Chains A and B, each alone.
Chain A
């Protein structure tokens, strides 16, 4: 007999919002990685990519809040709110929830600095934004470890898809970065790409020095 008590409702909500958060977080990371000069999504203008990246990341924060509040409110297991913020302070699943707290802290840092980007300046913001690359795998491991949901069936397939998408995007970006030249060599590279004809006088055709009419 399936009875949905208030406790089980909270428990299901917490699990569902956690899964939704993970999927959206994956999308946020993929979009963020693709925001560069060449990266384009077919049919989407660039500002839509950055807009989607931002909107989804704010949605992630909302879903994470639901995920945490429902888990805390659920009387079945005792999780204090502080455990969601301070890592490894939970008595229940200390390690796996600790990872969740770490990724939450990282995500909040990244989001807050992004909201203050104009004030912080590009360099500081960018430095902090690299934390996103740490937050994602920690969140993923937290999801897999804290609940058995993601370890089987179609949710496992979904998790693998998310991880693969993020890895593919990062791999694509790294491959592109590998082609980038260090600054001092860039100009020479562009110049040599043009195969400038010889500009030193002695490398011109002999016709030059003899003022010969060209044979056309």
Chain B
């Protein structure tokens, strides 16, 4: 089972916290909104991904389990 990050684009306000925590997996576009790599979260980043999801001030980052 792998994990994938998804953004709720409506609630995302572009705080940018997720990109600071997961720079390898998430970058910010020129307006400050996250662009997530089109790949499952690498195993080494799972802990940070969980933290990014719980710490997102808008709760707009979702961790989705994939079979």
Contact between B54 and A117 (Cβ–Cβ < 8 Å)?
yes
B9-57 with Cβ < 8 A to chain A: 11, 13-17, 20-21, 32, 51-55, 57
| Size of the chain A interface, CB-CB below 8 angstroms | 13
B54 touching A46, Cβ below 8 Å: no
Q: How far is the CB of B36 from chain A (nearest CB, A)?
A: 17
**A37 and B13 in contact, given A47-B55, A50-B57, A118-B54 (Cβ under 8 angstroms):** yes
Across the interface, B20 reaches (CB within 8 A) one of A35, A37, A47, A121, namely A47
Answer whether A36 and B20 are a contact pair too, CB < 8 Å, given A47-B55, A50-B55. Answer: no
Given A37-B14, A37-B32, A122-B11, A46 contacting B59 (CB threshold 8 A)? no
CA distance A35 to B13 in the complex (A): 11
Closest to A32 in B: B57
Chain A residue with minimal CB distance to B32?
A: A37
Give residues in B with beta carbon < 8 Å to A.
11, 13-17, 20-21, 32, 51-55, 57-60
Q: Are A46 and B13 in contact (CB under 8 A)?
A: no
Query: In the complex, how many angstroms separate the beta carbon of B22 from the nearest chain A beta carbon?
Result: 10
Listed in ascending order, the chain A residues whose CB lies under 8 Å from chain B are 35-37, 45-47, 50-51, 117-118, 121-122, 125
Specify which chain A residues have a CB less than 8 angstroms from the CB of B60 in the assembled complex. 122
Q: Assess whether A36 is in contact with B15, with CB atoms less than 8 Å apart.
A: yes
Which A residues touch B13, using CB under 8 A?
Answer: 36-37
Which A-B residue pairs are the 8 nearest by beta carbons? Answer: A122-B59, A46-B17, A45-B20, A47-B17, A35-B57, A50-B55, A47-B20, A47-B21
Name A118's contact: one of B32, B52, B59 (CB within 8 Å). Answer: B59
- Residue with the highest number of chain A CB atoms closer than 10 Å, among B17, B52, B58: B17
List, in ascending order, chain A residues with CB within 8 A of B32's CB.
Answer: 37
- Contact indicator B16/A46 (Cβ below 8 Å): yes
Distance in angstroms between the alpha carbons of A47 and B49 in the assembled complex: 12
